[in-house]
Amino acid sequence: MNEKPILGVLLGNSAGVGPELVAKLAVSGFYADHCRPVIIGDVRMFRHGLKAVGGDVSHYTVETLDQCDWDRGYPVLDLGDQDPDQVVYGEANAYCGASDLHQLDTAIALCKSGEIEGFVFGPFHKGAMKMAGLHDESEHTYLAKAFQLTTPFCEVNMMDDLMTVRATSHIPISDVSPNLTEQTIREAIELGEITGESFGRKPRIAVAALNPHCGEFGLCGREEVDIIGPTVEKVAAETGWNVTGPYSADTLFIRALAGDFDVVVTMYHDQGQIALKLVGFQRCITVAGGQPYPIATCAHGTAFDKVGKATATTDSFERAVKAVSRMAMAKRAKG
């Protein structure tokens, strides 16, 4: 047990299924196989989650992490900011959004101080976080600012051992082509390389085309000829990374899912999301790619319609815990 990484396990948005997911894995004993967990959030919400799933485990509150003793049970860093009787379940609200941000701030500080090696979080709610004062596009931008990143970052979607990263993300389809530049494509490739290496491997990176049939040599769009192809060639020559493409997007994922590639760089949000979620929605997770510490969450949201019913499956959250544990061990090995 002493060799396993110390990870923060954030309860997530109190109005959603996060506390139930964290509690379910505690009851099942799942964490012990992968990490030394420190549950971060209001201990009352953790107990609320235990009650919702009909289980109980030994746990105790800590004020500082040097008080953690996993032989005693699960340590809970009690933030004391969520009264279960005041939570409006199944609904976005500022009260719960403020706790999302509090949990994030706490985990960020613990990473910076070296007290945890990374963290996994139950689903947050972006709308609730914005009600509570979040001015950034997402928690990923919030993390990047907190860690003062100057290198590429973005959410990385992962199913089993296959990752997708995006050259463009949360923008309208009509804006995708104008935003495909050497810089955006290069940064996406770099993010794929960095994230692949964070799992202790040299990734095989495939870059998707934008247009049907890979643009048909310019007859069905010029992006592949003018931007995507030349950028892939330039990056491969300059870095020595194993990056190839562009490949026609309608067949690329057949090869990727067969194991030919570790990372697929997509040109827009749904190009990769549809493929992965169709094949294995419950197996997908979201990795905070490019961040200096291992961070991940389940690919689904707060599932307001399932709150309190103990019906939310833990598959994705389990995989997020496994991924962060693997990344933490790989980071240790790298030194």
Catalogue all structural domains in the chain, each as residue range(s) with its CATH number.
Answer: 1-149+291-335 (3.40.718.10), 154-286 (3.40.718.10)
Beta strand residue intervals within 83-191, DSSP E: 118-121, 154-159, 162-166
HEC profile of 8-63: EEECCCCCCCHHHHHHHHHHHCCHHHCCEEEEEECHHHHHHHHHHHCCCCCEEEEC
Tens-digit pLDDT string for the chain (335 aa): 679 999 999 999 999 999 999 999 999 999 999 999 999 999 999 999 999 999 999 999 999 999 999 999 999 999 999 999 999 999 999 999 999 999 999 999 999 999 999 999 999 999 999 999 999 888 999 999 999 998 888 889 999 999 999 999 889 999 999 999 999 999 999 999 999 999 988 999 999 999 999 999 999 999 999 999 999 999 999 999 999 999 999 999 999 999 999 999 999 999 998 999 898 878 899 999 999 999 999 989 999 999 999 899 999 999 999 999 999 999 998 87
DSSP string, 250-262: HHHHHHHHTTS-S
pTM for the whole thing?
A: 0.91
